[in-house]
Chains A and B, each alone.
Chain A
Amino acid sequence: MPHDGHDHSHSLLPSDPELRVRALESILVNKGLVDPAALNVLIDTYENKIGPKNGARVVAKSWTDPEFRARLQDDASAAIADLGYVGRQGEHMVAVENTPEQHNMVVCTLCSCYPWPVLGIPPAWYKSDAYRARAVREPRAVLSEFGVSLLPDQKIRVWDSTAEIRYLVIPMRPEGSEGMPEDELAALVTRDSMIGTGLVSV
């Protein structure tokens, strides 16, 4: 096991990260521990198949279907699983609703925990030191960098994902969206609005 202050095993591999990955991959493939075809499927899954469109459907359904909304608030894991979004980094879901009194925002200060089945893998900014360090201490300053301005009486609740619970922000339904069908509403819902660093507009 590596210990603090000692050389780590990874230093035996090339220091250029691209070469480092390539070296490690070839070692693992040569030993039969990794199936190269599985790597391609994994990349395709998280690059093309699983992404924020899933979460947008959850949000739009919550806006239009009061029964679903109640289930989502009561047991988000089950309600989201019913739509087919399950698995790694979404095992235990909680949905938090924005209201005129409260805005919700999600961060992982210790690493980069993020609800993969509904949002895909996190964007670079979510994993940045600046977001991780600042979102809990000065969420309003961070939001202003995203161009988000809150209502005068809205307080902020920042959720730091320190366990395996994954939080999905349900943004407020925008004015002017009355009567829109679920799929049109889903198209309005942005990834950032489900992290709490964006708002939904028509």
Chain B
Amino acid sequence: MSRIHDMGGRQGDGPVPEIDMEELFHADWEKQTLALNLAAGALGKWNIDASRHSRELLAPKDYAAFSYFEKWVSALTDLLVQTECLSEDDLNQQALRAAGTTPAALSAKTLRAENVAAAMSKGGPSLRESGPAPLYSVGDQVMTHSHNPNPVVPGGHTRLPQYAMGRVGRIVQRHGNHVLPDTNAHFAGENPEPLYAVEFDAKTLWGSAAEDNADTMVLDLWQSYLKPVTT
């Protein structure tokens, strides 16, 4: 089974909410949360896969109940403690910190205001030169693993959604070698490997419930998620 974040195909959700909402944020604290995530991420203590995984580690009842940015601030707190940027003691004592306490000098790694534009423009590319050669070509049929393919942590982070496990699709694009989230999220190395866009027929994924048999769903999947299909 998968984790609660893996909701593609789930039944029971109502209409898509807030389609006509003009604003990007509901309140100022949501903006602060976004900025805090980006600024803390720039400390370089974790990678994007680890930050995604920290949100996935929220208890299912919290993941379901929390709003989007509530998940972000909570998972960010956990990640800061996990990577020893903060201690639980720091969190416990926060209430005792009087407003007006003189802050410590900015650390060497702290993102300065004048460096924000450069840091955001730089981003964090996941394409790598190294890693194995691609086994598959455009047009090849492949089958996805039927269970979580994470090679280092049972039930750990993966980007193979449950709705596409154990299904046959075809390669439609090759993206080059990319960092493998399944290991990177657990600080177990980048292990870049070939990444493919794999197209599945709606009928393959949803059976007779498919809305239209001509429709397809495309997912980006790493080579180790796939097995060859002999035709």
Task: Report the minimal beta-carbon distance from A199 to chain B, rounded to whole angstroms.
Answer: 14
A27 touches which of B94, B125, B179 (Cβ 8 Å): B94
Q: For the complex, give the distance between the alpha carbons of A110 and B219 in Å.
A: 11
Task: Report the minimal beta-carbon distance from B77 to chain A, rounded to whole angstroms.
Answer: 4
Closest to B41 in A: A88
Query: Which of A10, A92, A109 is most buried by chain B, counting CB atoms within 10 A of its CB?
Result: A10
Q: For the complex, give the distance between the alpha carbons of A40 and B97 in Å.
A: 23
A42 touches which of B35, B76, B221 (Cβ 8 Å): B35
Task: Contacts A32-B105, A137-B206, A157-B218 given; indicate if A2 touches B78 (C-beta within 8 A).
Answer: yes
Closest to A1 in B: B82
Is B13's CB within 8 Å of the partner chain A?
yes
Is A17's CB within 8 Å of the partner chain B?
yes
Q: Which of A108-124 contact B (CB under 8 A)?
A: 109-112, 120-121, 123-124
Interface string of B39-63 (1 = CB under 8 A from A): 1100100001000101101110000
Is B133's CB within 8 Å of the partner chain A?
no
Is A71's CB within 8 Å of the partner chain B?
no
Task: Contacts A10-B75, A38-B112 given; indicate if A127 touches B68 (C-beta within 8 A).
Answer: yes
Chain B residues, Cβ within 8 Å of A40: 35, 113
B16 touches A24 (CB 8 A): no
Q: How many A-B residue pairs have CB under 8 A?
A: 306
B163 touches A136 (CB 8 A): yes
B216 touches A155 (CB 8 A): yes
Is B209's CB within 8 Å of the partner chain A?
yes
Task: Contacts A33-B43, A136-B217 given; indicate if A163 touches B195 (C-beta within 8 A).
Answer: yes
B123 touches A45 (CB 8 A): no
Is B32's CB within 8 Å of the partner chain A?
yes
Chain A residues, Cβ within 8 Å of B178: 92, 163-164
Chain A residues, Cβ within 8 Å of B127: 91-92
A91 touches B13 (CB 8 A): no
Interface string of B1-20 (1 = CB under 8 A from A): 00001111111111111110
Task: Contacts A22-B29, A130-B17 given; indicate if A109 touches B34 (C-beta within 8 A).
Answer: no
Is B142's CB within 8 Å of the partner chain A?
no
Query: Which of B9, B21, B122 is most buried by chain A, counting CB atoms within 10 A of its CB?
Result: B9
Chain A residue total in the interface (Cβ 8 A): 84
Q: Which of B118-141 contact A (CB under 8 A)?
A: 120-127
B91 touches A130 (CB 8 A): no
Q: For the complex, give the distance between the alpha carbons of A112 and B111 in Å.
A: 24
Chain B residues, Cβ within 8 Å of A121: 24, 34
Q: For the complex, give the distance between the alpha carbons of A38 and B8 in Å.
A: 35
Query: Which of B24, B25, B115 is most buried by chain A, counting CB atoms within 10 A of its CB?
Result: B24
Q: For the complex, give the distance between the alpha carbons of A91 and B85 in Å.
A: 27
B32 touches A165 (CB 8 A): no
B7 touches A38 (CB 8 A): no
Task: Contacts A8-B59, A30-B97, A155-B214 given; indicate if A87 touches B123 (C-beta within 8 A).
Answer: yes
Q: Supply 20 further A-B pairs (C-beta < 8 A) apart from A9-B77, A133-B9, A140-B215.
A: A17-B70, A24-B77, A26-B94, A38-B113, A40-B113, A45-B117, A88-B123, A121-B34, A124-B26, A125-B17, A125-B19, A134-B13, A136-B163, A137-B9, A137-B205, A142-B16, A145-B16, A157-B199, A162-B161, A165-B197
Residues of A near any B CB (own CB < 8 A): 1-2, 4-5, 8-10, 12-13, 17-18, 20-35, 37-43, 45-47, 86-92, 94, 107, 109-112, 120-121, 123-125, 127-142, 145-146, 155-165
The 8 lowest CB-CB distance pairs between A and B, nearest first, are A109-B8, A163-B220, A32-B104, A37-B113, A155-B214, A42-B35, A10-B74, A10-B77
Residues of B near any A CB (own CB < 8 A): 5-19, 21, 24-27, 29, 31-36, 38-40, 43, 48, 52, 54-55, 57-59, 66-70, 73-78, 80-82, 85-86, 88, 90-92, 94-95, 97, 99, 101, 103-107, 109-113, 115-117, 120-127, 159-161, 163-164, 173, 175, 178-179, 181, 195, 197, 199, 205-206, 209, 211-212, 214-222
